[in-house]
Amino acid sequence: MSSLARPDARAPTLRRSPAVRAVRAALLSAVSLLLLAVSAVVACRAAGTDGVTPVPQLLALLPWLLVPAGIGLVGAAALRWRAGVLWAVAALAVTAFFARPYGAGLAAAVPRGPVVARLTVLTSNVEFGQATEGLIVEVGRESAQGHKPDLLFVEECSLRCSALLDARLPRAVYPYRDIVREDGSKGSAILSTRPLEDTAGIPSTMAMPGARASVGGRTVRLQLAHPLPPIPGQVGAWRTELGRIRAYAAAGRGGPPTIIAGDFNATRDHAAFRRLLAAGGLRDSALYGGAAHTPSWPHAAPRPLGTQIDHVLVSGEFSVRDARFIDLSDTDHRALLVRLDLHG
Give the range of the structural domain holding residue 74, as residue numbers without chain letter: 18-99
pLDDT band at 263 (very low <50, low <70, confident <90, very high): very high
List of residues 6+ apart from 1 with CB closer than 8 A: none
**In this structure, what CATH number is given to the domain that contains residue 305?**
3.60.10.10
DSSP 8-class letter at 297: B
CA dihedral 73, 79, 83, 85 (to 10 degrees): 20
Residues 148 and 294 in one domain: yes
**Residue 319 pLDDT:** 95
Residues 30 and 124 in one domain: no
Backbone angles phi, psi at 148, to 5 degrees: -55, 125
**Residue 292 pLDDT:** 87
**Residue 108 pLDDT:** 63
List of residues 6+ apart from 136 with CB closer than 8 A: 164, 165, 168, 169
Question: Does residue 105 form part of some domain?
Answer: no
Residues 148 and 222 in one domain: yes
Mean pLDDT check: name the lowest of 171-175, 186-190, 300-304: 300-304
**Residue 107 pLDDT:** 60
Q: Please, what's the b/e burial string for 109-120 (b: 16 or more CB within 10 A of its CB; e: otherwise)?
A: eebeeeeebebb
Question: Does residue 2 form part of some domain?
Answer: no
Residues 142 and 230 in one domain: yes
Q: Does residue 321 contact residue 339 with C-beta atoms inside 8 Å?
A: yes
Nearest residue to 40 (alpha-carbon basis) of 58, 25, 64, 21: 58
Question: Does residue 107 form part of some domain?
Answer: no
Amino acid present at 35: L
**Residue 7 pLDDT:** 46
Residues 49 and 78 in one domain: yes
Residues 292 and 259 in one domain: yes
Q: Does residue 119 contact residue 312 with C-beta atoms inside 8 Å?
A: no
Residues 78 and 195 in one domain: no
Nearest residue to 225 (alpha-carbon basis) of 181, 266, 166, 165: 266
Residues 77 and 192 in one domain: no
Q: Per-residue DSSP letters for 94-113?
A: HHHHHHS-TTTT--PPPPSS
pLDDT band at 14 (very low <50, low <70, confident <90, very high): very low
Cα-Cα end-to-end distance for the chain: 98
Q: What's the mean pLDDT when you consider all of the chain?
A: 92
List of residues 6+ apart from 215 with CB closer than 8 A: 116, 117, 119, 194, 257, 342
Nearest residue to 235 (alpha-carbon basis) of 78, 67, 60: 60
Q: Per residue in 19-47, pLDDT tens? A: 888 999 999 999 999 999 999 999 999 99
Question: Does residue 4 form part of some domain?
Answer: no
Residue 312 bridge partners (DSSP): 261
Distances (CA, A) of 152 to 120, 161, 215, 335: 9, 13, 15, 11
Which contiguous run of DSSP H or E holds residue 30?
helix 18-47
pLDDT band at 15 (very low <50, low <70, confident <90, very high): low
Q: Per residue in 50-93, pLDDT tens? A: 999 999 999 999 999 999 999 999 999 999 999 999 999 999 99
